[in-house]
């Protein structure tokens, strides 16, 4: 019972995640079960940074098809790409977290339990850029796969 209050506090004070993620498109990489189930694919999604207006990021991720992929039991590979672009005047909110720990701005589940693709934002105010890093979490053994995109804010 003593763990409930801290857990609720973490959920309430969690990171400002992208409010809307939009699938831009996908390509099939392999047909599964003679085409009777969803194929393996690479999906491209877009999200806007919730604390920095004028920046959109695009994440491409491998998604597992087949029966397990259709019902959400498959574990997607920890492979992804990331590109971010300035889409208008860039305005950095005062709420945007500064420091070496950065801030999580995007999450996508890549398995039923304990694995996600995340995008963290870091502000390099000395160089006048925002750095986005995509990486994969896993409960026991994290993944070294990552991708970085940089957008000027000046």
CA angle (68 as vertex; 47, 105 as ends), nearest 5 = 20
Q: In a structure prediction context, what are the per-residue pLDDT tens digits for the chain, which is 154 residues long? A: 444 333 333 333 344 576 688 999 988 877 766 666 567 788 899 999 999 999 999 999 887 775 555 555 566 566 789 999 999 999 999 999 888 889 999 887 665 556 678 899 999 999 999 999 998 876 556 667 889 999 999 8
Domain ranges of the chain: 16-152
Long-range own/partner contacts, residues 129-135 (CB < 8 A, 24 or more apart): 129/153, 130/49, 130/52, 130/55, 130/84, 130/90, 130/92, 132/57, 132/82, 132/84, 132/105, 133/82, 133/102, 134/59, 134/80, 134/81, 134/82, 134/106
Q: Given this model, what pLDDT does residue 59 score?
A: 93
Beta-carbon contacts of 15 under 8 Å, excluding residues fewer than 6 positions away, are: 103, 104, 105
**Tokens linked to 54:** 């004028």
What is the model's pLDDT at position 58? Answer: 97
pLDDT of residue 113: 59
Which pLDDT does position 34 carry in this prediction? Answer: 63
DSSP symbol at 102: -
For residue 146 the two structure tokens come to 């990552």
């Amino acid at each position: 019972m003593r763990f409930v209050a801290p857990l609720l506090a973490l959920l309430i004070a969690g990171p400002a995640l992208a409010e809307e993620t939009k699938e831009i498109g996908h390509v099939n990489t392999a047909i599964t079960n003679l085409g009777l189930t969803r194929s393996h694919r690479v999906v491209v999604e877009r999200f806007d940074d919730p604390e920095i207006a004028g920046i959109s990021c695009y994440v491409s991720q491998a998604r597992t098809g087949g029966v397990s992929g259709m019902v959400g039991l498959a574990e997607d590979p920890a492979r992804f790409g990331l590109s971010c672009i300035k889409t208008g005047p860039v305005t950095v909110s005062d709420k945007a977290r500064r420091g070496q720990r950065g801030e999580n701005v995007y999450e996508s589940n890549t398995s039923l339990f304990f694995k996600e693709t995340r995008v963290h934002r870091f502000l390099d105010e000395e160089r006048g850029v925002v750095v986005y890093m995509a990486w994969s979490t896993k409960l026991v053994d994290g993944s070294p796969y990552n991708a970085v995109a940089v957008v000027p804010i000046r």
